[in-house]
Structure 1
Amino acid sequence: MKILVLLSGGVDSATCLGLAVKQYGKENVITLSVSYGQKHTKEIEAAKKIAAYYQVEFIHLDLAEIFEYSKCSLLGHSNQDIPKEAYAKQLEKSGGKPVSTYVPFRNGLFLSSAASIALSKECSMIYYGAHSDDAAGNAYPDCSSAFNEAMNQAIYIGSGKQLQIEAPFVFWTKAQVVRKGLEIKVPYELTWSCYEGGEKPCGKCGTCIDRAAAFENNGVCDPAIKM
């Protein structure tokens, strides 16, 4: 079985890749990283390093034009500031809508694009790193189990029953994802999660806060943070 892993360069997707390589062997795994017009290239640079570490094929796709109409605060053309607070605090102000760092239907577009490439590469499975913390409170609805099930059905039918998707962590917390990654020795020192593109993570955006908590809950220091 050949697997295509959506690789963002962050903790969750790196753990997905580590799991796929462990289960299927590096010769049966390829990675796809997608640019979407974000404010920096740190994620893509990290993804390249992680793919090289695992010695798997790396494919890069640029979908930035699709998101040029979005007001998402992560995007280079946005004049919104990236919130410097936890997702729970952001959701208190969102009125039930996704947070401002939600890129409209991003995972749907990523998975659809990945499906086309996966079929061309004779893969039968797509892995991506959605987990329950991101879906909580409707912060990122395209990380939910319901979304995963619907997309899996659509891709399975649309591929002539040749291809399925799997989010192995969709019912896990980020702390559980990190626990698995530590167990299988994922090179977290190579990953990048921060929404800002500085020399080091800001430590204040939602994803930095979640990442720090996940490592803290496992009783270890984040290996990407240089002391």
Structure 2
Amino acid sequence: MTNERYDAANPGAPKAIVVYSGGMDSYTVLHKALQRGYQVHALSFHYGQRHSRELEIAKEVCRKRKIVHQVIDIRAIHSLIDNSALTDASRSLPGGDYDQDNMSTTLVPNRNMILLSLAIAQAVNIGANICFYGAHGGDHVLYPDCRPEFVERMNDVAAIANFEAVRIEAPYLHVDKAAILADGLAMGLDYRDTWTCYEGNELACGECGSCRERLEAFAKNGLVDPVPYVEIPGSPNV
């Protein structure tokens, strides 16, 4: 485990845990929690994801903003969740649009329940009563652990699993990535400080479903994604 501690902003403010992958959604959630006045403790998880480059992005963001940040290495459970194109490098990542037909192979078994359980434990440990994560409406068709029903049930459990109740907050649960981006832009966020591509190479591929959803979000906001992409014919970003 890498544990990087800095002087948290807003000393004396209520504490909050943010599950922070380094991607667009959690990056926006991180700043939403800061905007709401919380003293943020960011948690990132290395679970054997092939796009672990996102963790380096998360570290740098927290370092620059002096946010308390922990990277938790849970790769010991990799063999329990390796039936996914995101955790098995021998499998091909699906390209094309971000929908159930071609992205179902990227579902990591029980991922958000595992990560939120650990986040709840840390919340109790440091005296925080809220955990933020970046589930959003665009993921509902594909990922059950990003749906409102899941958040509701996790909240039920988080309220009784310890003597101290913890609340799960997903501020973008009912909107899509374009709306998340619009909110982040309104906060003045720089999305060069994020990583989305499932390939995890030096340049984003522009072809995986995650890249395509991201590119679409920028296009809907009338912008060009500032992250560098591999040159792909027809891409709006090259």
User: Same-fold call, TM > 0.5?
Assistant: yes
Q: Relative contact order, CA 8 A, sep 6+: which one is greater?
A: 1
TM (norm. structure 1) is 0.90
In structure 2, the partner of 1:92 is: 101
Matched, 1:125 2:130: yes
Q: CA deviation at 1:84?
A: 1.2
Runs of 4+ in 1 over 4 A off after TM superposition: none
In structure 2, the partner of 1:42 is: 53
* Structure 2 CA distance for aligned equivalents of residues 155 and 162 of structure 1: 6
Q: CA deviation at 1:39?
A: 1.6
Matched, 1:212 2:215: yes
* Structure 2 CA distance for aligned equivalents of residues 40 and 182 of structure 1: 25
In structure 1, the partner of 2:10 is: none
Aligned counterpart in structure 2 of residue 24 of structure 1, from 37, 47, 55: 37
Matched, 1:162 2:165: yes
Aligned-residue identity in percent: 36
Check the 8 A contact 2:124/2:164 in 1, yes or no: no
Output the amino acid matched with 2:161.
Answer: G
SS at match of 1:87: coil
Gaps of 5+ in 2: 1-13, 230-237
Output the amino acid matched with 1:5.
Answer: V
Structure with a larger share of its residues in helix: 1
After superposition, what is the alpha-carbon deviation per residue over 1:195-215, rounded to whole angstroms, capped at 9, x for unaligned? 002111000011101001111
Output the amino acid matched with 1:148.
Answer: V
Matched, 1:102 2:111: no
5 Å matches for 1:130-145? 130-136=135-141, 139-145=142-148
In structure 2, the partner of 1:58 is: 69
Check the 8 A contact 1:31/1:58 in 2, yes or no: yes
Q: CA deviation at 1:34?
A: 0.4
SS at match of 1:82: coil
Q: CA deviation at 1:78?
A: 4.3
Check the 8 A contact 1:48/1:58 in 2, yes or no: yes
Matched, 1:82 2:88: no
SS at match of 1:165: strand
Output the amino acid matched with 1:19.
Answer: K
Check the 8 A contact 1:72/1:101 in 2, yes or no: yes
* Structure 1 CA distance for aligned equivalents of residues 75 and 150 of structure 2: 22
5 Å matches for 1:176-215? 176-215=179-218
Check the 8 A contact 2:129/2:164 in 1, yes or no: no
Matched, 1:73 2:85: yes
Aligned length: 216
Output the amino acid matched with 1:130.
Answer: A
Output the amino acid matched with 1:210.
Answer: E
SS at match of 2:84: coil
Q: CA deviation at 1:44?
A: 0.4
* Structure 1 CA distance for aligned equivalents of residues 224 and 162 of structure 2: 43
More moved, 58-67 vs 162-171: 58-67
Output the amino acid matched with 1:71.
Answer: N
SS at match of 1:100: helix
SS at match of 1:31: strand
* Structure 1 CA distance for aligned equivalents of residues 196 and 106 of structure 2: 13
What is the root-mean-square deviation of aligned Cα atoms in Å? 1.6
More moved, 52-61 vs 112-121: 52-61
Q: CA deviation at 1:223?
A: 2.1
